[in-house]
Amino acid sequence: MPKDEFATLSFSEPPRLGELAGPGSELSQAIAGARARGPSDAHLQALREAVWAGVAATAVTGAAAAAAHLRASAAPGAAQIGGGLGAAKVVVGLTFAGLLSAGTVIGVKGMMRAPMARKAESPSRLQPTQRTLADDRRSDGDESPTGPESAAQIAPTPMPASPKEAAVARAPWMSGTARRKREFAALREGDVPLPSATDSDHGLGLLARARESLTANPALSLSLTQEFGRRFSPGALDQERDVIAVEALRALDRRQEAIDRARQLLEHYPNSPYATKLGRMFPDDPIAPVVVPVAPVVRSRRQQ
Amino acid sequence: MAGPRAADCTEEDERRSEFRNIFEAHAPYVWRSLLGLGVPQADVPDASQLVFMVLYKKLHQLEPGCSIRTFVYGMCLRVASDFRRRGHRRHERLYADPPVVGRGANQEDRTSQRQTLLRMDAALARLNPEQREVFVLYEIEELPMIEVARAIGRPLQTAYSRLHAARKAVIAAMAPHLQEE
């Protein structure tokens, strides 16, 4: 087995537009300016007061009281700031109560757990500056069965070069600055593709190979997902890995294993963006988990 | 002896303490994100308040291992979408006043900064909402693409496609003013 150069999953993401444009360019200055703007101290203090007043109202009488609070007169100092916190226009048309009680899922798909599956968490989990997706993704206890081919038997496939690697290969004498300018010029012309799943990054490349092998060699595809799991899980691409594994199992006529794997995925991520695709793969076998809402009712966009 | 009522108070205190930490850590970028996502400036205070009120209510549904930042961004996207629709119906300009810029610059620099930001905001306003969300989250907020994909609830490749289209549009919109170093 080749020596693993990466201890954790890494991504070859495209350079930020501000970097490509150059530190002194108007575009980079515009992006930096957008990044630097924020509330004034007065805005922040007014927001803090309004939010905590709303929290207190919620604690006393629930969501309805919080909604009423938002419709009530503005919080102290807020009237001096454009619009005014708690003004009536906030709630009309936006239905704060509706967002909470009408079953609308707010926020990130694939991240909202079914209430009954939620376990008590220690306060330390909510130190936002210390947590990332990659740091805290739990192992999904990969129980995928071994395929007929092991990773060691996989013939190495040349990895397509990333755009950056291709640029270096074409003009190795170019300095970093010159290459950046050339990339930005190409970007302005619209002919530099962003990194795709065939990028040479180990993790993404492995998944790309697994995806490409699905049709011609699903057994190889399954082995590659297992290899990915051994090297890069738990990680941010576990869902993508699982979807490919489900497809490979189904192609290998291991239908029940594929169904079990799909159910496992959706139990872990009930609002996964792949729920619709998985549901269509098994129209006669319901794979979405049954959720018993605790309170309030949260409408899920899971597809059956 | 602590009864159920005492236990409820302790749990509520813990929840508020956690929420306070989250507010202090994320309030500035919630404000900034809502601006970038096209919420009319006059509405940003109310929109920010709404984001945090919904966050407070849904904190217990946060998935283990989920990035708080990505979770909050997801809420910003939803709230911004609602406020943008309301602003469009009112036919308001996006900004009554240019947003707060960094301190310490002289008058000429501040004027130049305001104009640059206005051009950027005008370029963002021309994007469709899906492209704008990805552009703001990746280029301005500097989230990794995988977190951007999670925040918008779409596969990674979809996020890349939207970013590509957004970049082309922003560059084209700002082309007359662009100069490379």
pLDDT tens column, A31-45: 988 888 888 889 899
**Nearest CB partner across the interface for B66, out of A39, A58, A111:** A111
Average pLDDT over residues B77-103: 62
**Which of chain B's residues have a Cβ under 8 Å away from the Cβ of A133?**
65-67, 70, 146-147, 150
Interface test with B, best of A111, A124, A127, A239 (most B CBs within 10 A): A111
Q: What is the pLDDT of residue A295?
A: 52
Sign of CA dihedral A100, B135, A33, B66: positive
The two three-digit tokens of residue B170, written as one number: 């922003």
Interface ipTM > 0.85 = no
Confidence (pLDDT) at A278: 87
How confident is the model over B125-155, as pLDDT tens digits? 899 999 999 999 999 998 888 889 988 988 9
What pLDDT is attached to residue A259? 94
What residues 162-201 of chain A have any CB closer than 8 A to a CB of chain B? 181, 184, 187-188, 190, 193-197
A132 at B interface, C-beta within 8 A: yes
Smallest CA-to-CA distance from B26 within B34, A112, A121, A77 is with: B34
B165 touches A: beta carbon within 8 Å:
no
B108 touches chain A (CB under 8 A): no
What value does the mean pLDDT take over residues A174-197?
58
Q: Confidence class of residue A1 from pLDDT cuts 50, 70 and 90?
A: very low
Task: Give yes or no for A291 touching B (CB within 8 A).
Answer: no
- pLDDT score for B176: 67
Query: What residue of B is the nearest CA neighbor of A54?
Result: B53
Tokens 């919420």 found at: B39
CA distance A49 to chain B (A): 10
- From chain B residues 118-147, the ones with a CB under 8 A of any chain A CB are 119-121, 138-142, 144-147
Amino acid at A135: D
Q: Which residue has the tokens 């640029």?
A: A167
Q: What is the tens place of the pLDDT at every residue in A115-147? A: 334 444 443 343 333 333 344 344 433 333 333
Q: How confident is the model at residue B68 (pLDDT cuts 50, 70, 90)?
A: confident
Peptide bond into A296 cis (omega under 30): yes
B88 shares contact with chain A (CB less than 8 Å): no
* Direct distance between the N- and C-terminal alpha carbons of chain A, in angstroms, rounded to an integer: 42
Predicted pLDDT at B24: 92
Strand partners, B62: A112
User: How many CB pairs below 8 A link A and B?
Assistant: 276
A154 against A63, higher pLDDT: A63
**Which residues of chain B does A93 touch, with a Cβ-Cβ cutoff of 8 Å?**
82, 86
CA A197 and chain centroid, separation: 16
Please, are residues A122 and B17 in contact by the beta-carbon 8 Å criterion? no
Arithmetic mean of pLDDT, A172-196: 58
pLDDT at A26 over 50: yes
β-pair partners for A299 = A104
- So what's the pLDDT on residue A125? 40
Q: Is the pLDDT of residue A210 over 70?
A: yes
Mean residue pLDDT of chain A comes to 63
CATH of domain B1-94: 1.10.1740.10
CB pair distance less than 8 Å for A39 and B57: no
Q: What is the pLDDT of residues B12-32, one digit of tens each?
A: 888 888 899 989 999 998 999
CA–centroid distance for B88 within its chain: 18
Question: What is the residue extent of each domain of chain B?
Answer: 1-94, 105-181
Does the distance separating the beta carbons of B67 and A17 come in below 8 Å? no
% of chain A with per-residue pLDDT over 70: 42
Domains of chain A (ranges; CATH) run: 16-102 (no CATH), 154-281 (1.25.40)
**Among the listed ranges A39-53, A106-120, A230-244, B23-37, which one has the minimum average pLDDT value?**
A106-120
- Where residue A247 falls among pLDDT bands split at 50, 70, 90? very high
Angle, nearest 10°, between helix axes B44-58 and B4-36? 140
Average pLDDT, chain B: 80
Residue type, B35: L
- Alpha-carbon distance of A217 to B178, in angstroms, equals 49
pTM summary value: 0.54
- The pLDDT, as a whole number, for residue B127 is 92
Compute the average pLDDT of residues A162-188: 58
Q: Which of A174-178, A233-237, B119-123 has the lowest mean pLDDT?
A: A174-178
Nearest of B180, B160, B174 to residue A183 by alpha carbon? B180
Contact A70 B53 (CB under 8 A): yes
Distance, CA of A89 to chain centre: 33
Across residues A6-27, what is the average pLDDT? Answer: 71
Helix (H, G, I), strand (E, B) or coil at B7: helix
Q: What is the pLDDT of residue B65?
A: 58
| CA of residue B45 relative to chain centroid, distance | 13
| Contact between chains at A90 and B50 (C-beta distance less than 8 A) | yes
pLDDT of residue A280: 86
Of A13, A86, A181, the CB nearest to B180: A181
Which chain B residue has the Cα nearest residue A15? Answer: B139
- Pick from A8, A19, A47, A92 the residue to mutate for testing the B interface (most B CBs within 10 Å): A47
Measured in angstroms, the CA of A171 and the nearest CA of chain B are apart by 21
- Per residue in A65-88, pLDDT (tens digit) is 444 445 443 444 433 334 444 433
| pLDDT of res. B23 | 93
CB contact under 8 A, B65 and A138: yes
CATH architecture of B105-181: Orthogonal Bundle (1.10)
Least confident of A157-161, A235-239, B1-5: A157-161
Q: Is the pLDDT confidence value at A92 over 50?
A: no
Q: Between residues A143 and A204, which one has the greater pLDDT?
A: A204
Euclidean distance between CA atoms B97 and A96, whole angstroms: 27
Contact A187 B117 (CB under 8 A): no
Q: Do A106 and B75 touch (CB under 8 A)?
A: yes
3-class SS of residue B81: helix
CB contact under 8 A, B171 and A27: yes
Pick from A29, A123, A195: which is nearest to B116 by CB?
A29
DSSP letter for each residue of chain A: -PPP--SS----PPPPHHHHH-TTSHHHHHHHHHHH----HHHHHHHHHHHHHHHHHHHHH-HHHHHHHHHSSPPTTGGGSTT-TT-HHHHTTT-HHHHHHS-BPPS-TTTBPPGGG-----GGGG-GGG--HHHHPPP----PPP-SS-GGGPPP-PPPPPHHHHHHHH-TT--HHHHHHHHHHHHHHT--PPP-TT-S-HHHHHHHHHHHHTTT-HHHHHHHHHHHHHHH-SSTTHHHHHHHHHHHHHHTT-HHHHHHHHHHHHHH-TT-TTHHHHHHH-TTS--SPP----SS--B-----
